[in-house]
Structure 1
Amino acid sequence: MKIKNKMILPKNIEEIFYKAKKYYPELDNISIKLKYTPLFYETMTATPSIYSFLFPWKKRSYVISINSGKQFGRYNVPISSFNDSILLGWFGHELAHLIQYEKMDWLEIMFLPYNFIFNQQFRKKFELEADKITKERGLEKELIKGIKFILEDQRVNRLYKEKTKKYYSQVS
């Protein structure tokens, strides 16, 4: 596992990542790079690396980008200050995406960005499947805590809340 930083990754975030990764032992031999970088409108994203697209015959590698900005969904608090439990749930969700990617063939990976952007039903199904995997790994409480945080905190942008309601597990 490599950590690639445009900025220095806060130690607590790195530690939480390793804690979450313990729930996914089948990813132990998979190359995962952490990239701490400003993201426009996401907390974290997990994607196959560009090399996985360009060299499909080689073993896949992945990048988990972590929002380094102070604007998480237009929420003016650095991600490093969030509750460890919430971050554990979010990392669990992103690692679940890697499980999904590992089951896809090269063509499915190639069309993934298109489907994710232009097919709302695909995106919802994909995100709910990642939530299901996260829950099955024992991170349900942490995942739900993160979703509730987004939906209930007054400082989180309305559009980000709507996106969360639309694509992710529902909480009561």
Structure 2
Amino acid sequence: MQQKDSLEFSNKIVPDIIWRETYVALSHYPELKDTPIEIRFKKKIKKSFMQAQPKISGLLKNRKNRSYFIFINEKFKIEDEVFDVTTVPSEVLIGWIGHELGHIMDYRDRSAANLVWFGAKYITSKNYIREAERAADTYAVNHGLGEQIIATKDFILNHSKLSETYKNRIQDLYLSQEEIMVLINEVHEETN
């Protein structure tokens, strides 16, 4: 079922309000051209603004025939600051979506059993969350979205109204801006 106020291009369903940012992020992932992805707004996602996951109905399908969701919090409240996609800069949204597409890249080659195990470890292990989030950042940087990932980190870490607890969580679980710069330089060296 297509969400109201959504565009469908090829096998992607995207809310109208973020179609441009999604298109830009997807353009960096040609491997996902044939992968069905639906982006939906959700009332509440714990501890996050966005979340990528395989559609449960497709878990037992051949890996090439799976489809995925990217859920986006309708509103994301940290302390007294409320965010939604209309208050987040375009470059930051592209970085966030690019990060979630990095998760989908990671999920693509996993078996159904491995994805279930992945989910269980993600829920129960902070070290595994760190590994998964850093992998998604790495996919995004390696696909040419390094500047946007840095913009996303800047938006979070330098936003004075965000709680220190949230900022510390981001610093602990995700690649640092310095690590991202090292990856960007490695990507540039490989392409030159």
Q: Same fold (TM over 0.5)?
A: yes
- Select the structure of larger CA radius of gyration: 2
3-state SS of paired residue (1:34)? strand
Q: Aligned partners of 1:6 and 1:163: how far apart in 2? A: 33
Equivalent residues in 2 for 1:63-78, closer than 5 Å: 63-69=69-75, 71-74=76-79, 75-78=81-84
The share of aligned pairs that are identical, in percent, is 24
Q: Aligned partners of 1:158 and 1:99: how far apart in 2? A: 30
Q: Aligned partners of 2:160 and 2:2: how far apart in 1? A: 33
3-state SS of paired residue (2:34)? coil
Q: Deviations over 1:2-61 (max 9, x none)?
A: 8535999763412211111010111111110111122243111100011123x3457211
What residue number does 2:123 align with? 117
Question: Higher relative contact order at CA 8 Å, sep ≥6: structure 1 or structure 2?
Answer: 1
Q: Aligned partners of 1:82 and 1:125: how far apart in 2? A: 26
What residue number does 1:127 align with? 133
3-state SS of paired residue (1:4)? coil
| TM-score when normalising by structure 2 | 0.79
Cα distance, 1:158 vs. partner? 2.6
State the number of aligned residues.
169
Q: Aligned partners of 1:83 and 1:154: how far apart in 2? A: 16
Q: Which stretch of structure 1 is more off in the superposition, 86-95 or 105-114?
A: 105-114
1:169 to 167, 175, 178: 175
Change (3 A) 1:50 1:147: same
Q: Could you tell me which amino acid in structure 1 is paired with residue 101 of structure 2?
A: L
What residue number does 1:17 align with? 22
Q: Aligned partners of 1:111 and 1:5: how far apart in 2? A: 34
Change (3 A) 1:86 1:148: same
What residue number does 1:4 align with? 3
3-state SS of paired residue (2:52)? strand
1:91 aligns with 2:62: no
Q: Aligned partners of 1:42 and 1:6: how far apart in 2? A: 23
Q: Aligned partners of 1:169 and 1:61: how far apart in 2? A: 27
1:34 to 36, 39, 43: 39
| TM-score when normalising by structure 1 | 0.87
Change (3 A) 1:88 1:13: same
Cα distance, 1:65 vs. partner? 0.5
What's the RMSD between the two structures over aligned residues?
Answer: 2.4
- For structure 1, which runs of at least 5 residues remain unmatched after alignment? none
1:79 to 63, 74, 85: 85
- For structure 2, which runs of at least 5 residues remain unmatched after alignment? 8-13, 179-192
CA contact (8 A) 1:43 1:67 kept: yes
